[in-house]
Amino acid sequence: MTHTPKTIRLADYRAPDYLIHETHLHFELYDDHALVHAHLVLERNPQLDDSLPPLVLDGVKLELKHIALDDRVLGAGEYQVDEESLRLQPEKNSFTLDTTVRIEPQNNTELEGLYRSGGMFCTQCEAEGFRKITYYLDRPDVMSSFTTTLSADKQQYPVLLSNGNKIDEGEEGERHWASWEDPHKKPAYLFALVAGDLWCVEDSFTTMSGREVTLRMFVEPQNADKCQHGMDSLKKSMRWDEEVYGREYDLDIFMIVAVDDFNMGAMENKGLNIFNSSCVLAKPENSTDAAFQRIESIVAHEYFHNWSGNRVTCRDWFQLSLKEGFTVFRDAEFSADMNSRTVKRIEDVAYLRTHQFAEDAGPLAHPVRPAEYMEISNFYTLTIYEKGAEVVRMLHTLLGAELFRKGSDLYFERHDGQAVTCDDFVAAMESVSGRDLTRFKLWYSQAGTPVLQVSDSYDAEKQEYRLQVRQNCPPTPGQPVKEPMVIPLATGLLDAVTGEEVRGTQVLELTEASQEFIFTGIASQPLPSLLRGFSAPVRLEYAYSREQLAFLLAHDSDGFNRWEAGQQLAIQVFSEALTQQQNGQTPAFDPQLAQALSKVLADTQLDEALKAEIISLPSLAYLLELQTEADVANSHVVREALRLSLAQQLEQPLREIYQQLREQARATDYRPEAGQIGRRRLQNMTLSYLMLLEQDDILAACIAQFEQADNMTERMAALANLVNNPVREQAEQALAAFEQEFAVDPLVMDQWFSVQASSPLFSDTAQIRQLMQHPAFSIKNPNKVRAVLGAFSQHNLPQFHAADGSGYALLAEQVAVLDGLNPQISARMVNPLTRWQRYQPRQQQQMRAELEKLQQLPKISRDLFEVLEKSLG
Ligand code: B3K
Ligand code: ZN
C-alpha cells in the first residue's frame, strides 16, 4: 500500500454500470505461472440511462498480455491500467471483451485469488479475490453464467475441477484439460477451481424430489481414511435443509476439496466447496470430539449457503450478515437437532459473550450491517457472524417457528437468483407476519451490547408480580447515542419454595427505554428465570443472591438457565475472592458454590454433557471481559485457586465419576455422537480438577489414559493435563512420544503446538519462540500460525500479558512478518493488542507502543492499516 486507503460507504452504493451476462474462462496452469484467458459478454445496465460511461474493471497484481473489444485488439492508447483497475470506453450497449493475463500462483502467499497449497492449485475469491485472477466487475451484484476450462500437466494434476458440471475433457501430449459449466448465475466471489493429484471419495444423495446427486470429496491420498465423517455430515445437512427449510440441492454433483493452506474454515463456492483440511478431515485416532463437531457444523454451514448466500446472495459487502448471520443461525439449529440443543446453546452463548461482546465494547465495534469499511476482509467478524445469527434468532423467537419458516420460504422465492439486502430479508418476515419490524432493524444499524437492568416487586394482597426493565446501550465508535431496541426477553417464574414453575416461558417484548410487565394471579413471591435460552444478545443485570442462584441451578426447568445460574454463582464467588487477592488478603471461597456443584454431580436426571458444562468455571477470558480494568495476573491466580478448592471439596464424587466414565470409555467403541461426547467431556473435566490435587494415583491414571486411549479426545485431554500441571518431566515425555507418533500428520501437529502454546505453566515467550523454530512450523501456513501465536495470545493470557511486555513484543514482531506475507492473517492476529484499553496502565502503554511501532512499518497492508488506525484512533 502506497497511500492512505479510502473508506467505502454503504451510503455511496450505486448499481453497476455494466452487467456481465456470460463469463468464459480458460486457465493454462504451469509450475511457474498461469495464463488466464477471459471472454466476457457485457451489457450496459438496462436499469440505468442509455449513456455509455467508461467500463472500469477490477484487477490487482495482473500482467495484461492481450485485450480485445468485440474481437478488435486494442492499441495502447485505448485503455488504461493502474494498480487496481483496467479502464476502457465501450462503443455499444452490448459487447464482448477478451483479456489474457499472466499471474504467479506459486508466489501468492496471501492465499487469496489463485494460489498453490502443497502440490495443488486452488482458489479463494470471497470477498475480493477474483480480481487477483482476471479483470472483472468483482462485486456481488454482478451475476454471470460461467464456463471454465483448465489445462495442466496430466501427471502432476490428474484432477481438474471447477463449479457446476463437467461438460468436456481431453488430452494433448503431456497435458490434459477439462471444461466445466455452471448453469446457475453467480457472482465472481463464488467461483472456484482446483487442480491436483487428489484421491476421491464418492457417495450419493437422493433429494426429496427423487433426483440423485453425486457427492465427491477430494483429498490428498494420505487423507483418504479421514473423509467418512465429513461425508456423513454432508448427507445429514442435505436432508435437514429439505426437512426444516424445504430447500433442495440444485446441481447433479456436489464437491468438497480439502486444502492445508487456507485463511479461514471453508468456502461455499457453488458446487465446489473448498475446506481448510482442519474443518473437514477427521478420524478418531487423530481428531478430537471438538474437531468432529466442528466439521459437522462447518460442512453444514457451507452446504446451507447454497440457498442462503448463493441462490440468494448479497447486493454489496455491507450486507455480509444477510448470508452469514442467517447461515450461522441455520447451522446452529442443525447442530442443536443433531446433538444436545441445550449444550449447543451454552457453547455458542459462552463464545458470543466472551468474544463478540468484547468486540462490541472495543475500538473495532461495528453494527451487524456496517456503514463503512476500508478493507472488507476485516469484517468477517464475530459481530457479522455470531451477533448476526442472534439477530435472526430473535426474529425466529418473535415470530415463532411457523411464521419464520413462511418468511424464509417467501424470502427464497421472492429473491431467487438476486443479490439483495438485509432489508429484503426483514421485509419477507414483515410480509408473512403483518408486523412492522422497522424498530427491530436497529439491530442491524446500532453497534454495542445493550444492558438490561431488571428489578421486581411483589404485592401479596393483589397477588401481583411486577418486573421493571430498563435498557440502555453504551456508546460505540461513531455512535454516541442509541435508541431503545426491540428485545425479546423470555421469562419464566418459579415458586421460590418448591421450585415449581408458576409461569411457563413467556416472551416479553421490550420496545422502550423503560417498561413494566405485570403478572397477575401469582400466589406468592416468585423467583424470576430471566432471558431463558439467552433470548437476546444483551447483558442482563438482576440482583440475584447466591442462594437464589443456587436455587435456580437446582430447579430451573430451562436447562440453559440452570447452567447460567451456576455461572453467575461462580462469578460472584470468584469476584469476591479477587477483591481479597487484590487487597493482599488470601482469597476465600464461599462454599455455596461447591455445595451447589456437588448436587449437580449427584443429580441422576442430568446428562453428562450438561454436568460437564455446569462444573466448568467461566473462562479466564470471560472473567476478564467482565472487569472494568482487566487484572490478568490476579484473576488467573484466583481462578486456579478456586478450581483447586472445588477439586478438594468435590474430590470423592469427581473420583467416582472419572473412574466410572473412563471404564465405560475403555469398554466402548469410539463414536463421535452426542451421548459419548458428553461423557468424555465430563470424564476429562473431572480429570482436570483431580490433577490439581497433585496425587500420585491420579497422575498415573492420567498417564495411563494418555498411553492407552484409542481416541484423540481422551489422549489430548490427558496430554493437556500433563502440560498444564507441574509435572514437566512427564509432560515432556508425553509430548515427545506424541510428536514421534504423529509427526506426519499436520493436523495433529497443530494440536501438539496448540496444547503447549496455550499453557501458562509450560510456555513463556521463550518457549513460543522455540516452537516457531520447530520444523513442522511454518509462518506461511495459517493453521500453524493460529496453533502457536493464536493459542498463545488468546489462551495463554498470563504469559501473553507478562509484566515485562515480552508477550506483546513477540506478537507484534510476528504480525510485522505476517503482514508482508498474508495481510488477512496479520490483521487478525494483531487483534489481542487492539484491546489495550481494557488493561492496567502499564500494560496499556506497552501494548500501545507495539501498535505504534507497527504503524511505522515502511510497507503496511490495507488490512492492518485499518485495524491499527481504529485501535489507536
Ligand atoms: N464465506 C466464507 C468466508 C470468506 C472469508 C473471506 N475473507 C466462509 C463462510 O462463512 O462460510
Ligand atoms: Zn458463511
Give yes or no: 302 in active site: yes
Average pLDDT estimate for 455-466: 98
Closest by CA position to 829, among listed 783, 772, 774, 798: 783
**Cα-to-centroid distance, 324 and ligand 2 (Å):** 5
pLDDT band at residue 668, thresholds of 50, 70 and 90?
Answer: very high
Type of residue numbered 8: I
Average pLDDT estimate for 803-814: 98
**Cα-to-centroid distance, 420 and ligand 2 (Å):** 16
Q: Which residue's alpha carbon is at the smallest distance from atom 5 of ligand 1?
A: 126
Q: At what angle do helices 320-338 and 341-351 cross, to 10 degrees?
A: 140
Dist. CA 241–CA 330, nearest whole Å: 9
Dist. CA 746–CA 862, nearest whole Å: 31
DSSP 523: -
Dist. CA 485–CA 476, nearest whole Å: 15
User: How long a stretch of residues is the chain?
Assistant: 873
Name 601's Cβ contacts closer than 8 Å, sequence gap at least 6. Answer: 611, 615, 650, 653, 654, 657
pLDDT band at residue 2, thresholds of 50, 70 and 90?
Answer: low
Average pLDDT estimate for 671-682: 98
**Cα-to-centroid distance, 770 and ligand 2 (Å):** 35
CATH classification (class only), 743-873: mainly alpha
Give the C-alpha distances (Å, rounded to integers) separating 527 from 267, 500, 536, 543: 46, 10, 20, 12
Pairing state of beta strands 253-259 and 272-276? parallel
**Cα-to-centroid distance, 762 and ligand 1 (Å):** 34
- Who lines ligand 1 at CB under 6 A? 126-127, 264, 266-268, 301-302, 305, 324, 377, 380
Give CA angle at 867 (862, 871), nearest 5°.
145
Give the C-alpha distances (Å, rounded to integers) separating 185 from 248, 311, 675: 17, 9, 43
Please tell me the predicted confidence (pLDDT) of residue 215. Answer: 99
Dist. CA 695–CA 276, nearest whole Å: 41
pLDDT band at residue 75, thresholds of 50, 70 and 90?
Answer: very high
**What are the phi and psi torsion angles at 378 (to 5°)?**
-75, -5
Average pLDDT estimate for 560-565: 98
Please tell me the predicted confidence (pLDDT) of residue 405. Answer: 99
C-alpha cell, 650: 468435590
Ligand number nearest to the C-alpha of 267: 1
C-alpha cell, 2: 502506497
Residues linked to residue 168 through DSSP beta bridges, in sequence order? 179
Residues linked to residue 539 through DSSP beta bridges, in sequence order? 451
Helix or strand run (H / E) with residue 721? helix 712-723
Compute and round to an integer the Cα radius of gyration of the chain: 28
Show me where the domains of the chain are located. 8-197, 343-538, 743-873
Select the CATH number that applies to the domain covering 343-538 from these four: 3.40.50.300, 1.10.260.40, 3.40.50.720, 2.60.40.1840: 2.60.40.1840
Pairing state of beta strands 526-529 and 487-495? antiparallel
Helix or strand run (H / E) with residue 303? helix 289-304
C-alpha cell, 115: 494460489
Dist. CA 101–CA 624, nearest whole Å: 51
Q: Do residues 148 and 27 touch, judged by C-beta distance below 8 A?
A: yes
Q: Which residue's alpha carbon is at the smallest distance from atom 9 of ligand 1?
A: 267
Mean pLDDT of the chain, nearest integer: 98
Q: Which residue's alpha carbon is at the smallest distance from atom 6 of ligand 1?
A: 126
Tell me: pLDDT of 119 over 90.
yes
C-alpha cell, 680: 468424555
Helix or strand run (H / E) with residue 574? helix 559-582
- Domain 8-197: what homologous superfamily? tricorn interacting facor f3 domain (2.60.40.1730)
Closest by CA position to 306, among listed 284, 289, 331: 331
Dist. CA 596–CA 195, nearest whole Å: 57
Q: Do residues 35 and 100 touch, judged by C-beta distance below 8 A?
A: yes
User: What are the strands, taking DSSP E only, across 683-833?
Assistant: none
Condensed to tens digits (0 to 9), the pLDDT of residues 403-451 reads 999 999 999 999 999 999 999 999 999 999 999 999 999 999 999 999 9
Q: Which residue's alpha carbon is at the smallest distance from atom 2 of ligand 1?
A: 267
Largest CA distance in the chain: 95
Please tell me the predicted confidence (pLDDT) of residue 3. Answer: 73
Which of 115, 256, 268 to probe ligand 1 with, by most ligand atoms within 8 A of CB?
268
Dist. CA 133–CA 145, nearest whole Å: 17
Give the C-alpha distances (Å, rounded to integers) separating 735 from 724, 761, 796: 12, 15, 18
pLDDT band at residue 4, thresholds of 50, 70 and 90?
Answer: confident
Condensed to tens digits (0 to 9), the pLDDT of residues 234-271 reads 999 999 999 999 999 999 999 999 999 999 999 999 99
Average pLDDT estimate for 656-676: 98
Give the C-alpha distances (Å, rounded to integers) separating 426 from 12, 120, 143, 314, 461: 22, 42, 23, 14, 44
Tell me: pLDDT of 647 over 80.
yes
Residues linked to residue 40 through DSSP beta bridges, in sequence order? 23, 97
Task: Please tell me which residue in 220, 302, 386, 625 is annotated as part of the active site.
Answer: 302
Closest by CA position to 134, among listed 83, 64, 189, 73: 64
Give CA angle at 684 (682, 689), nearest 5°.
95
Q: From the CA of 127, give the closest atom in ligand 1.
A: 6
Domains 8-197 and 743-873 share a fold: no
Ligand number nearest to the C-alpha of 302: 1
Please tell me the predicted confidence (pLDDT) of residue 256. Answer: 99
Q: Do residues 329 and 363 touch, judged by C-beta distance below 8 A?
A: no
